[in-house]
Amino acid sequence: SQTIHQWPATLVQPVGSPLSLECTVEGTSNPNLYWYRQAAGRGLQLLFYSVGIGQISSEVPQNLSASRPQDRQFILSSKKLLLSDSGFYLCVGGGGFSYEQYFGPGTRLTVT
C-alpha cells in the first residue's frame, strides 16, 4: 500500500498571492498521482493526474497548475489565488494492481 503525505493541513492566503501545495508518496514507485478538490455536496472533483515524472493531465481548466518533478512528488500551484480557489485539496495515489486509491490527509485552503 501507499502512504500519502501532504502539507500544510490548513492554509490561509490573500487573494492574488501564490500557492504551492506539496505531496509526497511513500511505499511504492511510479504511482499514478492525483489532485482532487472536495466541496461539500459536490464530491471529489478531479483536477490533475500524472502517470509519471513530468506528465500532467488537466481535467478542469482553471487558475491552478500541477507539476511532478520527481517520481514520488506532486505539487499543486497557482501564481495568483482567487477567492474561488478556496476548498479542501486532496492528493491521492493509485495505479497498483488493486486499483485502490490512497488518500492524503488533505489541505484546507482559505483564500481571503
Give the residues lining the site for other proteins (CB under 8 A): 32, 34, 36, 41-44, 46, 49, 51, 59, 90, 94-95, 98-101, 103-106
Contacts of 43 (CB under 8 A, 6+ apart): none
Bridge partners of 32?
94
CB of 96 to other proteins, least distance (A): 8
Q: What is the smallest separation between the CB atom of 10 and other proteins, expressed in angstroms?
A: 13
Closest CA to 88 of 51, 48, 40: 40
**Smallest separation, CB 44 to other proteins (Å):** 4
